[in-house]
Chains A and B, each alone.
Chain A
Amino acid sequence: MRAGRSRRSSRVAAAAAGRPDPGERVDQYQYLLVLAGCLLITLPLELVLGARVWRRPRRLLLTLLPVVVVYSVWDVLAIESGMWDYSERFTTGILLPFAMPLEELAFFVVIPICGLLTLEAVGNVLAGLRALRAGAGLREAALVVHRGGAR
């Protein structure tokens, strides 16, 4: 990944100049950057493949609520019992109530969203393929996908 490479080269430069390592400042955002990458890479599913997940904010929020609650409880219990922990170097150190790292909340929001976008996009692509098989033209089938399936 690019983050790794730039970290190393900036470290070399910093060492040469005798300055504090700027890579360490970037490092603390690494977990968040991975999650941001997940959102970025799935954005075309909404914009091109008609997923309509971001465009239903109320339904999205209501969906995320129980998932975030259930998995945050699991996470907090796991951290408390020492089952897993997070690198101090690659996280911001911002803690939410019950000592849950901010990154974990972000994880339980971002990954489910990526899953929903995938589900909706796959559904639309399958609907487009069905339209093709039913004799629709390529353009027409692409429109079926983009508009969000049969709707």
Chain B
Amino acid sequence: MLLYTVPAVLSVLVVVLVELLWLRTGVFRTARYWLAMLIVLGFQVPVDGWLTKLSDPIVLYEEAEMTGVRFPWDIPVEDFAFGFGMVTLTMLVWLRLGEREDRRARTPSLQETP
């Protein structure tokens, strides 16, 4: 029952908690994150829309495991939670690794090597 809906919502919660309790990149307080997510969302609609269109679907879903709400076009609303979690997690890891890179770059012994 709702084996897509529930994990999709949970994945968003887990990713948010990973940021707040563990990675702490602070990205949720930046304009660039929210703007980027808005743009990602804008492109998710045509791409996901193409993959899930009921007239010629590339991905087929078991309707019993989701709310059945499809919007816009035939996109299962759960896909937006799935995508939000996946892209956000990627950004968190990327930024966290970047912080480490920057710290290493600031270490003089490494920076001075020609």
Contacts and interface: CB of A to CB of B under 8 A. Distances in A.
- State yes or no: do A and B come from one complex: yes
Interface of A: 1, 4, 30-31, 34, 38, 41, 59-60, 62-64, 66-67, 70-71, 74, 78, 81-87, 90-91, 108, 111-112, 114-116, 118-119, 121-123, 126
B90 A122 contact: no
Contacts, number: 97
Contact of B90 (A63, A81, A121): A63
Given A63-B97, A64-B90, A78-B4, A118 B40 contact: yes
A112 B87 contact: yes
7 contacts: A66-B89, A67-B89, A83-B3, A87-B58, A114-B40, A116-B90, A122-B32
A83 B65 contact: yes
Interface size range of chain B in the complex:
20 to 34
Interface of B: 3-4, 7, 11, 31-33, 35-36, 39-40, 43, 47, 50-51, 56-62, 65, 83, 86-87, 89-91, 93-94, 97-98, 101
Nearest to B87: A115
Given A4-B56, A34-B50, A59-B94, 19 more contacts: A1-B50, A31-B58, A38-B47, A66-B89, A67-B90, A74-B11, A78-B3, A78-B4, A81-B3, A83-B61, A83-B65, A84-B59, A85-B62, A87-B60, A112-B87, A114-B43, A115-B86, A115-B87, A119-B94
